[in-house]
């Protein structure tokens, strides 16, 4: 039963990023009017969030290798909750876009955990099965998020959508509490935090990694286009 619970939590954490990015998209025209700004300025909120998600994964991945999965996950979730509340209370577009950057950074920790925890616990076919389940959720979420956002945008407005995202963050944080640490102290990175970046360089030289990453990137690019 614990394994089933863990898979459910991992699926929810995996869907975190797409929901953070996409759920408010149908409310963009309303936000343009509310903030009395241009469409491109509102769209910057999308860009800032994606930058936060990308940079956050590069930072939180090595940190979780060094200090454990759960402490880093807790920090990122609390950062997400604070940033989302900041989004809800924003009175101008610049403040909102900065909050979106922080929101992306916070959401990145959830994505890191959903990828790293299974590799701590499983291997072989079992790991492939878990990654496939998490990947399936991650594939559905970018499509479902704008649909859900569009359904509620007219009822509760753009701030309401962010209050829903805030509630999702609080619920997921509560669900994470019973989850056990997956990376024991003896398995953690003992060297400097910066040594992890040497690992990034080595991985990028692996031909299959570059090919698979390119294919994945093109697939996500088509979705966003």
Do 53 and 137 lie in a common domain?
yes
Measuring CA to CA, which residue among 17, 19, 14, 12 is closest to residue 149?
19
What is the span of the domain harbouring residue 202? 194-225
- If one counts the domains in the chain, the total is 2
pLDDT at 82 over 90: yes
How far is it, in rounded angstroms, from Cα 71 to Cα 136?
26
Do 88 and 181 lie in a common domain?
yes
Do 123 and 224 lie in a common domain?
no
Do 56 and 114 lie in a common domain?
yes
List, for residues 130-173, the tens digit of each pLDDT value. Answer: 888 887 777 777 777 788 887 787 788 888 889 989 999 999 99
Do 13 and 38 lie in a common domain?
yes
200 or 177: whose pLDDT is higher? 177
Do 186 and 203 lie in a common domain?
no
Q: What is the pTM of this model?
A: 0.88
Do 166 and 216 lie in a common domain?
no
Do 106 and 202 lie in a common domain?
no
CA distances from 3 to 99, 113, 126, 171 (A): 35, 15, 12, 19
Do 73 and 6 lie in a common domain?
yes
How far is it, in rounded angstroms, from Cα 34 to Cα 18?
24
Do 181 and 208 lie in a common domain?
no
Q: CATH number for the domain including 43?
A: 1.20.1250.20
Do 126 and 209 lie in a common domain?
no
Residue the block writes with tokens 């509490």: 177
Q: How does residue 74 score in pLDDT terms, banded at 50, 70 and 90?
A: very high
Mean pLDDT on 181-199: 80
Do 211 and 185 lie in a common domain?
no
How far is it, in rounded angstroms, from Cα 188 to Cα 68?
7
Residue 212: both structure tokens together = 């698979």
Residue 204: both structure tokens together = 């990028």
């Amino acid at each position: 039963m614990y394994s089933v619970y863990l898979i459910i939590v991992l699926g929810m954490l995996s869907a975190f990023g797409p929901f953070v990015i996409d759920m408010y998209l149908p409310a963009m025209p309303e936000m343009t009017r509310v903030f009395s700004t241009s469409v491109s300025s509102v769209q910057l909120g999308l860009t800032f969030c994606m930058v936060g998600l990308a940079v956050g994964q590069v930072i939180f991945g090595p940190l979780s290798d060094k200090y454990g999965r759960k402490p880093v996950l807790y920090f990122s979730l609390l950062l997400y909750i604070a940033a989302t509340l900041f989004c809800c209370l924003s009175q101008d577009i610049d403040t909102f876009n900065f909050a979106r950057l922080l929101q992306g950074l916070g959401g990145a920790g959830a994505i890191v955990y959903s990828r790293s925890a299974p590799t701590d616990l499983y291997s072989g076919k079992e790991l492939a099965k878990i990654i496939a389940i998490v990947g399936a959720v991650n594939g559905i979420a970018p499509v479902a998020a704008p649909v859900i956002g569009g359904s509620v945008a007219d009822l509760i407005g753009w701030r309401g959508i962010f209050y829903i995202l805030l509630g999702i963050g609080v619920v997921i944080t509560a669900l994470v509490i019973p989850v056990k640490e997956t990376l024991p102290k003896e398995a953690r990175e003992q060297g400097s935090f910066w040594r992890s970046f040497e690992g990034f360089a080595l991985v990028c030289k692996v031909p299959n990694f570059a090919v698979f990453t390119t294919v994945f990137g093109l697939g996500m690019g088509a979705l966003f286009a």
